[in-house]
Amino acid sequence: MRFTDRVAIVTGAASGIGRATAKRLYDEGAALALVDRNEEALAAVADGMDRARVWYAGLDVACEDDVASCIDRVLQRFGALDVLCNNAGIAGGDYSLVSETKTAVWQQILGVNLMGVVHFTKWASRSMIERGRGAIVNTASVAGVRSGAGGNAYSASKAAVINLTMTSACDLAPWHIRVNAVCPGLIETGMTAPVFARAREQNKEDRLGYRCELRRPGRPEEVAAAIAFLASDDASYVTGQALPVDGGNTASLNLPGMKV
């Protein structure tokens, strides 16, 4: 119950890692503000939870005005904000060469994956600064660490999130606000569903996750556990870090066993 009497915002909470994170924080006692473009799916996430502890809203994280309004509504509803989990993101499905990637694709992906984090960090941190404490956890990706895990725009957006995690951690440390990130590897979520579906159709399910040392894909709950750690007082001396949750993928050259 590390989050008893604490208020947490989880963006991208309608599915995948965001949904698992919301459930993890709720089970550990948090009051939740859940955000996603899919308000109907958010209602399903909140179903069965104590409505006194849960509030949700559909919005586009790329719209700063909507984000600022959301923070105001959360503060009105709960009176405080302790934790922000910036999880909302899109893959875009674009794997074109950098010479061919359309500007609109860059703008769309950077708008959600990077500027969504910027907007929520900007407005949430103002409340945290007033209180002199807080924890922010951003969902980046192994695609932001090395190539081969996403398209150009997606990978660049996640690399930017990692760097923003470091710079904002330095900015906010004087007010005891910690900022960290997780870098998931291959996790089965709605975003990666086409990858898993294609592998199963081709009877290559055993190849999923073969490029990481643990030889398997991860589960949303495994990433949620890392997010909960970084958001909790158990990580009270951890800030400015990007933690891979990738089965060892970034620890190797994507050739499992080569070191043996």
226 vs 92, more confident: 226
Beta pairing, strands 242-245 & 31-36: unpaired
Which structure tokens are listed for 151?
A: 């398209």
- DSSP label of 35: E
With 60 as the cut, is the pLDDT of residue 260 above it?
no
Over residues 157-185, mean pLDDT: 97
Range with the lowest mean pLDDT among 88-97, 117-126, 131-140, 208-217? 208-217
Give pLDDT, residue 149: 78
- How far lies 151's CA from each of 38, 101, 111, 141, 158, in Å? 24, 9, 15, 12, 11
With 60 as the cut, is the pLDDT of residue 259 above it?
no
- How far lies 49's CA from each of 22, 29, 38, 76, 114, in Å? 11, 11, 18, 20, 30
What is the percent of the chain with per-residue pLDDT over 70, rounded to a whole number? 90
- Contact partners, residue 69, CB within 8 Å, separation at least 6: none
Question: What are the extents of the domains in the chain?
Answer: 7-242
Mean pLDDT in the chain?
92
- Give the active site residues: 154
Give pLDDT, residue 208: 62
Give pLDDT, residue 120: 98
Over residues 34-62, mean pLDDT: 96
Distance of CA 182 to the CA centre of its chain: 7
Over residues 165-175, mean pLDDT: 98
With 60 as the cut, is the pLDDT of residue 9 above it?
yes
Give pLDDT, residue 258: 56
The pLDDT tens digits of the residues spanning 54-83 come to 999 999 999 999 999 999 999 999 999 999
The pLDDT tens digits of the residues spanning 186-223 come to 887 766 656 656 666 777 666 666 677 888 888 999 99
Q: How many Cβ atoms sit within 10 Å of the Cβ of residue 53?
A: 14
Give pLDDT, residue 243: 98
CATH superfamily of 7-242: NAD(P)-binding Rossmann-like Domain (3.40.50.720)
Over residues 6-17, mean pLDDT: 97
